[in-house]
Amino acid sequence: MLTDTNQELAESLRTITINSAYNASRALSKWFRHGVRLNCDGLESITINDAASFVANPDEPLAAVLMPLDGDVGGHILLAFPEETALRLCDIMIGAPEGTTTQFTELEQSALQETGNIVGSAFANSLATWLKTDISPAAPTFAYDLGGAIIQPLLASQAEFADSVLVSRTNFEFDKKHLDWVFLLLPSREALDVMQQQSEGDHVKEKALHTIAINGAFEASRAMSKWLKRGVRLSTEGFERRPLKDVCPPDQSTEPVVAMHTALTEQMGGHAMMMLSMETAYRLVDVLIGQPPGTTTQLDDMAQSCLQETGNIISSSFINSWAKWLEITAEPGAPRVLVDHRESILPSILVEQALAGDEVFLAKTEFNVDGQWLEWEFYLIPAPASLRFIEAACS
């Protein structure tokens, strides 16, 4: 029997689950012709003994959609809806007033199955991309019974080779209505082995991303200290992979930001972006020029020149660290200072990145000089060829 290492696996699957919810939201919105948002915080690992009560009350009615997974990775995806939630969801899907649906006729079952098909397929596609394999979702089936009657047979089958299962509470948002259901992943024995091996590889990648960022921050600290002739320290916890949708979330503040955008050429192609708030940019200029805090209130030519040089030093340090680790060449261009809203700066770059993958690399950075701490974000958005170098080096 496999030991319970599924918490690490759940963490590896977190980004996949969140991205799947985003993709499913888009598909559901297109189907409904109305804005739909699916929210989840990723999968978590719970023991099989606790799973039945987590998913549903065993003695209460439950509506469920079960999607088998075929191909190189097998198993099942289960969407579990409390009876009241399923009835309300049917009202939304068929455009009926709330409280209209009181039973699951063929029409309501078909609507729930299509929801399960969209959500399950979005997850299966993201999972296949992560594992670099083929996964074929089969047609979903509908079940309506007491929670225990639906869940227990599935858990009994899973208990033959695993101590825990992967679950996620999911929220469906439509016209300010919020419905909660549970997403349950039940991989086959072979699929679980493959995913655990991949998650171990992810752990190796995380270590590499940490080392790259630390080395880059160290070199940037030395270069900044030499330039300013003062002790400067850049610190970071390392690069992390971020879903594209999290880079420019819909509820992002409308306040403008300052970005130092660097185009990357040679083998390390793509974009680098150092992004900070307007307030942080003003404070940084004061530090760079050596004037009292609060002096800078606008980004004139001198202020922009200072920010450009900072962006040049930091971007070059991080990119050279990447290139050294990958054993490739990099040629960062001169950074451009952009002052605009985040959603105006990023979309064109992110659309380009979406052709290569659904993630970017982010290093949250702290800058310390003369006892002052400033924070900003550094993004690496690699071109498709560069992303292949990164994935090959991490494998």
- Check residue 352 and give its pLDDT: 62
Q: What is the pLDDT of residues 372-394, one digit of tens each?
A: 889 999 999 888 778 777 777 76
Q: What is the CATH number of domain 6-187?
A: 3.40.1550.10
SS (H, E, C) 206-255: HHHHHHHHHHHHHHHHHHHHHHHCCCEEEEECCCEEEEHHHHCCCCCCCC
With a pLDDT cut of 90, the percent of the chain lying above it is 39
Residue (of 121, 186, 183) closest to 153 by Cα position: 186
- Are 17 and 42 in contact by the 8 Å Cβ rule? The answer is yes
Q: Which of 13-22, 105-114, 280-289, 298-307 has the lowest mean pLDDT?
A: 13-22
CA dist., res. 212 & res. 253, Å (int)? 30
Q: How far apart are CA 283 and CA 249, in angstroms?
A: 26
Q: Would you state the structure tokens that stand for residue 369, as one six-digit string?
A: 């000089």
Range 125-132 average pLDDT: 83
Task: Return d(Cα 252, Cα 189) in angstroms, integer.
Answer: 41
pLDDT at residue 2, as a whole number: 39
The pLDDT value given to residue 356: 57
Q: Report whether pLDDT(101) > 90.
A: yes
Containing 296, the helix (H) or strand (E) segment is none
Q: How confident is the model at residue 4 (pLDDT cuts 50, 70, 90)?
A: very low
- Measured distance CA(380)–CA(158) in Å, rounded: 40
Where does the chain show beta strands of DSSP type E? 37-40, 44-47, 61-71, 75-82, 135-137, 141-146, 164-174, 177-187, 232-236, 240-243, 257-265, 270-277, 331-332, 336-340, 359-369, 372-382
pLDDT at 332 over 70: yes
Tell me how far CA of residue 165 lies from CA of 5, 74, 158, in angstroms.
11, 15, 8
Q: Is the pTM of this model over 0.75?
A: no
Q: With beta carbons less than 8 A apart as the criterion, state whether 124 and 131 touch.
A: no
pLDDT at site 344: 80
What mean pLDDT is predicted for residues 260-270?
Answer: 87
Average pLDDT of the segment spanning 84-94? 92
Per mean pLDDT, which range of 209-223, 239-253, 309-323 is the poorest? 239-253
- The mean pLDDT of 74-92, rounded to a whole number, is 93
Domains 6-187 and 198-394 alike in fold: yes
- CATH fourth-level superfamily of 198-394: CheC-like (3.40.1550.10)
**CA distance readout (Å), 224 to 161, 220, 318, 371:** 54, 6, 13, 15
Structure tokens, 244 = 């594209």
pLDDT at residue 284, rounded to an integer: 94
pLDDT band at 3 (very low <50, low <70, confident <90, very high): very low
> In angstroms, how far is the first alpha carbon of the chain from the final one?
27
Q: Which residue has the higher pLDDT, 184 or 267?
A: 184
The number of beta carbons lying within 10 Å of the beta carbon of residue 223 is 18
Domain locations in the chain as residue ranges: 6-187, 198-394
